[in-house]
Structure 1
């Protein structure tokens, strides 16, 4: 069975890099450009095995997105990885408190991203 991953990032370049990395690993990548768009895509896709989200985005940031996803009964246990340039411990704690599963700092190592996605989704 092919893993399904939703990746939310306002940077087109980052979305393209994540999509390429995941599809090269045989993972179906669904993309969204901010938290609100991420919620829309989430409604239309099969249940994701994992979600990757940036923190700093317009309209709805990563924290708001994580809160909204965790409020949905069907996604309370879906692994959420934060992929961001932020590395401050306060941001990590805030993300963990909101319900994030893990934290990856940009720029990311493609092999590590795939490994972590497979680890949390499996």
Structure 2
């Protein structure tokens, strides 16, 4: 099963989503801010990144831009996770280089579908 990097600063959200993804058979790595997320993406080479957009140190938008600008990590799909549910927020996340977008609170079946689609190399679905 695929290795997922979850970049999320909220401990409760991080723990809950990690447990749910592990139960589905994924290996989950975690980072608590954008800078740590970039470092882990480079060193651990996950198959996909779930990126909270409101992060300390380096926000998810900038972390994604840097991830996609680095040839070593540019091919890793990124799904933006955010409580911001406006179309403009989705557009901003996609503009930063995210491959898809999902809103909080997380609906696991919808997120799993997006993860599967991106791991299979298909086009993003939107929120």
Same fold (TM over 0.5): yes
Specify which structure has the bigger relative contact order, considering alpha-carbon pairs within 8 angstroms and separated by 6 or more residues: 1
Distance 1:24 1:82 in 2: 21
- The equivalent residue for 2:10 is 11
Count of residue correspondences: 120
TM-score if structure 2 supplies the norm length? 0.88
- The equivalent residue for 1:79 is 77
Distance 1:76 1:107 in 2: 27
Distance 2:30 2:117 in 1: 20
Alignment pair present for 1:68 and 2:54 = no
Contact residue 21 and residue 114 of structure 1 kept, 8 A:
no
Cα root mean square deviation, aligned: 1.2
Alignment pair present for 1:96 and 2:124 = no
TM-score if structure 1 supplies the norm length? 0.92
Q: Per-residue displacement from partner, 1:83-118 (whole Å, max 9, x unpaired)?
A: 110112222111111111111111111222222212
Contact residue 81 and residue 104 of structure 1 kept, 8 A:
yes
- The equivalent residue for 1:28 is 27
- The equivalent residue for 2:54 is 56
- The equivalent residue for 2:41 is 42
